[in-house]
Chain A
């Protein structure tokens, strides 16, 4: 008995609920979905074993390649812009001015709004014919744009909406980071004759590095998992110009009944996310070594 349950058998009683939940809701589905990805299954009729065929077909599927490219374009634009924008806004908001609490709240509010509501809101604003965006552009002498009806603009528009709502999070995290910087360091820099840029470059920015790494990884994970905004605003259109990976998975599994194929695509994404997360751990570890050494 002791050999089986260790020195403190009671402890198992305490961890059991979480073990069951993690096993039942995370591990088992993950394993099942891995098995599913190696089958031809529509979830309704008995499945057929395919081995790695789904993955092989996936690597030649132009629709999946397009979905990967759209996701990458979104990520490459969204992550740096949200970090740069978040840092800029945080620096502006990190000072004692009148109504600062109000400004900070306003920047954060969009983050709280659900993506579904944002999608509905923005699809009205950016309606090609009746939206307010084109009306504003026309004041400045810019001709009417297609926006969500233009396959060249739709994805960029999604980045823009993503930024509108995602910036708030970066700002809050950066603000916390900025307020963590010891006042003495800034004062010492000032005594040494550093100006604003010098202080930022040699004191603030290095101090914000851990926060920046965290944000870069976090925002990348968010961007790679983009779905809700696409679903509400464009359904992957126009002309499949905004099909992202998760949307591709949804379409395969629930519209075309290729659940096995969809699971394979989901696993490709999951694997990518895993690599990104491992990257985070390495970045963190290097950092603690640097600090410690």
Chain B
């Protein structure tokens, strides 16, 4: 599943109540439950014959689940002494954070869970999240073989707390039909944000309902992460070194917001106010949108819809290529050293060579390891999908969001600023000032 764009998860009131109920039941009944299971001695997961049983909540359905089941079976064949209980955990990856939060407070948690990149720092505040520092130093793990963006995503306060699960990044997909109809030349690899804005403007045709580009406008993470490459490029950052203040308060934030505001003013952007950003991609696929910043997960859909598309890297301000990687993690939880060790062994297998290729191909993501990217298997896969090579190359210079627990408190106000720009409801300076003030106030209170 594409993991950066939050799917329109159909949370009904019932599931909120269920969430709230498990939230309350978790701590209410949690002590009781753990008291019940405490006596059985099952918690160390080691059977008399030395078999270690570990539990994995992967939050995957359909294709993702099928691939994982296969990989788990492969692993079982080679490792008789480790038994992996892999299940979705009863939720899709979207709701895993909620699920794991309640699981942690009840004291009954799995050994491995699929946690989104921006959430790992919040989860890792829990003492139950394993410290993997001593494992990642082992040469046999080849930790440095993981892409920097993938490594950074699982590293909190300098120590790995899980394994990279999936990595992707943002490039620009463009619709060849729309460009042709508008008589606009197709974009090239080295282009600027000014080019992007101008191209979007000349592609836009209100009478035919054609937009130059699209941007999620629900203020959620899928709306926010698209601005960071612009901020980095303009010399800013998300937070300062010690995490006490935002670092996009100066010209960098202003420049990025001004660019987005120009799109809003020109009405060349389709602001997708619906959660999930699906409409935006549908419009693109239906030849009513010229360009969209997206990740590799969207390519299979374009292929299925027979959209004639091409992919170029993100535009820049200064000519230095930069993009954002949206990695997700296999966060490891501490249920005793035997189980942590087994989990590390399993995850090492899962993220290695052939398995990495299989997993990345089906998820529509990118290889986690440098060595995988150079493998014959991956090269074959890349050549079968238009544009995938551009994403694969961009991984070399991709950066990630900081793994700090206060991140959501920065993301939410910045999201509101971006929506204001897209709907042209404020000046870039006012929107920036308000976002900076709100985020800094939240960071100050911790």
The reply to whether the CB of A42 lies closer than 8 angstroms to some CB of chain B is yes
Residues of B within 8 A of A45 (CB): 125-127
- Which one, A129, A149, A235, contacts B423 given CB within 8 A? A149
Q: Which DSSP category, helix, strand, loop or mixed, fits chain B's interface?
A: helix
Closest to B223 in A: A237
The answer to whether A44 and B29 touch across the interface, beta carbons within 8 angstroms, is: no
> B73: shortest Cβ distance to chain A, in Å?
33
Q: Does B279 contact A (CB under 8 A)?
A: yes
A29 touching B21, Cβ below 8 Å = yes
Query: Do B275 and A232 touch across chains, with their CB atoms under 8 A apart?
Result: yes
Q: Are A239 and B416 in contact (CB under 8 A)?
A: yes
When the two chains form the complex, which single residue of A24, A231, A233, A246 contacts B29, counting CB atoms closer than 8 Å? A24
Please count how many residues in chain A sit with their CB below 8 Å of the partner chain's CB atoms.
Answer: 50
Contacts A32-B28, A42-B122, A43-B23; is A255 near B408 (CB within 8 Å)? yes
In the bound complex, CA of A139 to CA of B440 (Å): 49
Which of chain B's residues have a CB closer than 8 A to the CB of A137? none
A32-50 residues with Cβ-Cβ distance < 8 A to B are 32-33, 36, 42-45
Asked if A234 and B412 make an inter-chain contact with CB atoms under 8 angstroms apart, the answer reads: no
B11 CB contact (under 8 Å) in A31, A36, A232, A259: A232
A124 to B8, CA, bound (A): 13
B10 within 8 A of A: yes
Stretch at the interface among A82-90, A112-120, A201-209: A112-120
Does A276 have its Cβ within 8 Å of any Cβ on chain B? no
Q: How far is the CA of A194 from the CA of B405 in the complex (A)?
A: 71
Q: How far is the CB of A155 from chain B (nearest CB, A)?
A: 13
Indicate the member of B8, B21, B274, B420 with the most A CB atoms within 10 Å. B274
Collect the chain B residues with CB atoms within 8 Å of residue A128's CB: 273
Q: Which residues of B contact A32 (CB under 8 A)?
A: 24, 27-28
From known contacts A127-B279, A235-B218, infer whether A149 and B271 are also in contact, taking CB-CB under 8 Å. yes
A238 touches B23 (CB 8 A): no
B218 touches A234 (CB 8 A): yes
Asked if A238 meets B419 with Cβ closer than 8 Å, knowing A43-B104, A232-B10, the reply is yes
User: Which residues does B use to contact A, with CB under 8 Å?
Assistant: 8, 10-13, 16, 19-21, 23-29, 97-98, 101-102, 104-105, 122-123, 125-127, 209, 211, 217-220, 270-271, 273-275, 279, 283, 288, 405, 408-409, 412, 416, 419-420, 423, 425
Instruction: Name the 7 nearest CB pairs between A and B, nearest first.
Output: A29-B24, A116-B10, A28-B28, A44-B126, A228-B13, A32-B28, A235-B275
Task: Please list the residues of chain A having a beta carbon within 8 angstroms of any beta carbon in chain B.
Answer: 24-25, 28-33, 36, 42-45, 114-117, 120, 123-124, 127-130, 148-149, 151, 225, 227-228, 231-240, 246, 249-250, 253-257, 259, 266
